[in-house]
Amino acid sequence: MNLRIDIQRLREGDETLVLDDATKLFDLDDDDWHFEGRITGELTFHMQGEDVFATGQLRARARGRCGRCLEEVPVEVTVPFDYIYQPKDQEPRSDVAIEHVTEGGPETAYYRGDAIDPLDQIRESILLALPVLPERRADETCLHCGRDLTEPAHREDWPDEAPAQEPEWKRRLRNLRGG
């Protein structure tokens, strides 16, 4: 995949990179996360002197295992993207233009030659935005029986006076403990 931002074109004016690409192109999947759909967003590149400021926002969807019930849970992330690219042969600097610094400050990356390829920074930003342990929202689990409320037939099979049942998460925890 080519996301190259040409430095010479940046000298002439800002450039916007519009992303709407399949997640597999970013090589994000691992043992804990499976990405689905597309990575979308817009990144604007602005050159000031030899520094390139890249700002924007990315969006991605992934599925991970819930830290409580071990079921797959969808996670959507909106990721702020805020980087300063400096020439590789230049010493790291802290005198960046203040009007381009957002809350928390931009990350620093380096470029060499006549182009910037932001693929690694995009990948890193998305992965860092994911929760360490995703958790299914409490309101998606039935407090009565512990089953997933998103199941279409969940409420239809309840008797009028349902006996108290052990929630699914308790049964799984007991099985994990071996008894």
pLDDT confidence bin for 104, thresholds 50/70/90: low
Between these two residues, 15 and 67, which has the higher pLDDT value?
Answer: 15
- Name residue 144's amino acid: H
Q: Where are the beta strands (DSSP E) in 25-178?
A: 33-48, 51-65, 72-87, 107-111, 115-116
pLDDT confidence bin for 23, thresholds 50/70/90: confident
Query: Mean pLDDT throughout 23-34?
Result: 86
Three-state DSSP at 24 gives helix
Phi-psi region of 175 (alpha: psi -120 to 50; beta: other; left: phi over 0): alpha
Please give the model's pTM, rounded to 2 decimal places: 0.68
